[in-house]
A = this chain, B = another copy of it.
Amino acid sequence: MYHALIMAGGTGTRLWPLSRRSRPKQAIPLVGERTMFAAAVERIAPLFPTERIAVVTRQEHVDILAAQAPELPAANFLVEPEGRGTAPAIGLAAIHLHHHDPEAIMAVLTADQHIADTARFCLALAAAAEAAQQGKLVTLGIHPSSPATGYGYIQQGDPLGALGSIGDFPLYRVDRFIEKPDLETATYMVASGDYSWNSGMFIWRVDRILEEFQRYMPQLYAQLAELEAVIDSPDYQPALERIWPQVAKETIDYGVMEKADDITVIPVDIGWSDVGSWASLPELLAADESGNTVIGPHLGVDTRNSLIYGSRSRDGNDKRLIATIGVEDLVIVDTEDALLICPRDREQEVRRVVQLLEEQGDDQWL
């Protein structure tokens, strides 16, 4: 059977002050009225019944996420005692799926990305399942709309035919994974047409990915095997709590994908954005004639090309006004208890603010 795994363990510190420890990025309605997580669940409904949608997340976020997708069975939330990176998270889900369905195919999806064309996304996932069924390790590559330096890239190699109900999803062998490039390299790659962005979405049979763990991450594989042996028994939770702190932190990209020698990429054009930082929002929300992207009450005098993200009026009761005079290329994010102001081209430093708050022990704003 075809299962979806929604990876929902992140925090999204670059979206502070809207994202917080207790309210991670995926629990926020950044684009539209639904939270990122609720949207991630809803967009795959045409392909996956709720009993085949699993979620991996941290203990501290289970409640807030479950509340946003009440249709998901509680048992489908796979809880990590603490985040250890994407490789262990995927491994944990893989053993659960494998335990109940040794021939399961899993689609590893993300909870904190925006996808505009959900219909084409579902078609791509269906096509990818066909390739996975044949034993391929598949990743969705994103058609690059700009020479972004904030994403990893995938170089497409030999074409491997096409799949999908109407045969319109070409497959390529992955030549190599490229870490976040400089602008010159990114520009070259986008112009060449042979590269996709690395989306972090993967489709494979669970037995195949467990084989890869065994080959490239044998320690993790052993830990997972020990856990799988006690799934559904009273020993599981104690074992998890004992083993997990010993699991090495690692990403699936570094731990498996960059080492495995037979990865398939399906480049797709699905209106994807990782909504990774405040700078990415104006691309998703409409700007007004002054180039401003505005949420909430705003009064601007000579204000241009700014993101003014205030409190939304869900109850029609606008409380706070943001007034700006002579402001350009600024990011202003106003929340109930914290306000961020920074130039658009420095918003990557938001992480520094979060880091400073941590160093100072200012937990109330984290």
Q: Which residues of A line the B interface, CB within 8 A? A: 16-17, 299, 301, 310, 319-327, 330, 332, 334, 336-343, 346-347, 349-350, 352-353, 356-357, 362, 365
Contact of A323 among B17, B301, B320 (CB under 8 A): B17
Partner of A325, one of B323, B343, B362: B343
Q: Are B326 and A338 in contact (CB under 8 A)?
A: no
Nearest CB in chain B: distance from A130 CB, A: 47
The answer for the CA separation of A320 and B357 in the assembled complex, in Å, is 13
- Is there contact, CB below 8 Å, between B346 and A326? yes
Q: Assuming A321-B337, A321-B338, is B365 touching A343 (CB within 8 A)? A: no
Q: Which of B319, B341, B357 sits near A341, CB closer than 8 Å?
A: B341
Q: Distance in Å from the Cβ of A49 to the closest Cβ of chain B? A: 43
Contact sample, A vs B, 25 pairs, CB 8 Å cutoff: A16-B323, A299-B356, A299-B357, A301-B342, A301-B352, A320-B337, A320-B339, A321-B338, A321-B362, A323-B338, A323-B339, A323-B340, A323-B341, A323-B353, A324-B340, A324-B342, A325-B341, A325-B343, A325-B347, A325-B353, A326-B343, A327-B341, A327-B343, A330-B341, A332-B339
Residue of A299, A356, A362 contacting most chain B CB atoms (<10 Å): A299
Give every chain B residue within 8 A of A324 (Cβ-Cβ). 340-342
Complex Cα distance, B328 from A330, in Å, reads 12
A325 and B342 in contact, given A299-B357, A356-B301 (Cβ under 8 angstroms): yes
Collect the chain B residues with CB atoms within 8 Å of residue A341's CB. 322-325, 327, 330, 332, 341
Q: Do B339 and A321 touch across chains, with their CB atoms under 8 A apart?
A: yes
Contacts of A325 in B (CB 8 A): 340-343, 346-347, 349-350, 352-353
| A91 CA to B346 CA, complexed, in Å | 57
Give the shortest distance, in Å, between A23 (CB) and chain B (any CB). Answer: 16
Sorted nearest first, the 7 A-B pairs with minimum C-beta distance are A325-B342, A326-B346, A321-B338, A323-B353, A321-B365, A322-B339, A325-B349
How far is B334's CA from A342's CA once the two chains are assembled, in angstroms? 15
Across the interface, name the chain B residue whose C-beta is closest to A355.
B301
Q: Which residues of chain B have C-beta atoms less than 8 A from A332's C-beta? A: 339, 341
Cβ–Cβ contact B17 & A349, under 8 A: no
Find out whether the CB atom of A353 lies under 8 angstroms from the CB atom of B322.
no
The answer to whether A319 and B337 touch (CB under 8 A), given A299-B356, A325-B350, is: yes
Q: How far is the CA of A330 from the CA of B299 in the complex (A)?
A: 17
Q: How far is the CB of A194 from chain B (nearest CB, A)?
A: 37
Give, as a whole number of angstroms, the nearest-CB distance from A189 to chain B.
29
Instruction: List chain B residues, Cβ under 8 A from A357.
Output: 299
Give chain B residues whose Cβ lies under 8 Å from the Cβ of A326: 342-343, 346, 349
CB neighbours (8 Å) of A338 from chain B are 320-323
Partner of A339, one of B334, B336, B342: B334
Shortest distance from the beta carbon of A262 to any chain B beta carbon, whole Å: 44
Known A301-B349, A310-B339; 7 more pairs at CB < 8 Å? A299-B356, A301-B352, A320-B338, A320-B339, A321-B365, A323-B341, A325-B350
A339 to chain B, nearest CB (A): 5
A338 to B: closest C-beta gap in Å: 4
CB contacts (< 8 Å) of A346 on chain B: these are: 325-326
CA distance A325 to B347 in the complex (A): 8
